[in-house]
Amino acid sequence: MHYSEIASALGQPKATRAVARACATNPVALVIPCHQVVPKTGGVGGYRWGPERKEKLMAMEKQKGLF
């Protein structure tokens, strides 16, 4: 899912940056998996604990069939 898709789903299609900021500051990131949200332009985007950790989490979850 992309940041812009979440913004649109919330009825705020221009709030892409706000969604990205909310994900970046999420203090319970493993409970609410904001790390699964990626930029529409590609790549993994930012992450509170670094993009390397985000990539590892996403790979682990994909391997286990979680996302």
Catalytic residue among 34, 37, 57, 58: 34
| Number of residues that make up the chain | 67
pTM over cut 0.75: no
Catalytic residue flag (residue 23): no
What's the confidence (pLDDT) of residue 37? 87
Residue 10 binned pLDDT confidence (cut-offs 50, 70, 90): very high
Is pLDDT of 1 > 90?
no
Higher pLDDT: 51 or 33? It is 51
Can you tell me the mean pLDDT for 39-49?
85
The band of 15, judged by pLDDT with boundaries at 50, 70 and 90, is very high
Distance CA 46, CA 22 (A): 11
